[in-house]
Amino acid sequence: MIFTLGTSNRHLDEFLGILNCYQIKLVVDVRRWPTSKWFEYFKKENLKKILSENNIEYLHFEKLGGYRSGGYEEYTKTKEFRQALEELVKILKNRKTVIICAEKLPWKCHRAYIGRELEKKGIEVIHIIEKDCLWLPRKEPKQIKPFCQKLWEKKVKKDANLKLDKKENAGQK
The whole-number pLDDT of residue 109 equals: 86
pLDDT-derived band of residue 138, with 50, 70 and 90 as boundaries? Answer: low
Please report which helix (H) or strand (E) contains residue 2, including its range: strand 2-6
| β partners of residue 27 | 58, 98
pLDDT for 109-126, tens place per residue? 889 999 999 999 999 999
pLDDT averaged over every residue in the chain: 82
> Please, which residues bridge with residue 125 across strands?
2
Instruction: Show me where the domains of the chain are located.
Output: 2-139
- pLDDT (tens digit, 9 = 90+) per residue, 32-64? 777 778 889 899 999 999 999 999 999 999 898
**What is the mean pLDDT of the segment spanning 146-161?**
47
Four-point Cα dihedral 160, 136, 30, 15, nearest 10: 50
Read off the pLDDT band of 139 (50, 70, 90): low
Superfamily for domain range 2-139: Tetrapyrrole methylase, N-terminal domain (3.40.1010.10)
**pLDDT band (50, 70, 90) for residue 98:** very high
151 pLDDT above the threshold of 70: no
- What CA–CA distances, in Å, run from 42 to 11, 15, 79? 10, 10, 29
Phi/psi for 133 (5° steps) reads -140, 115
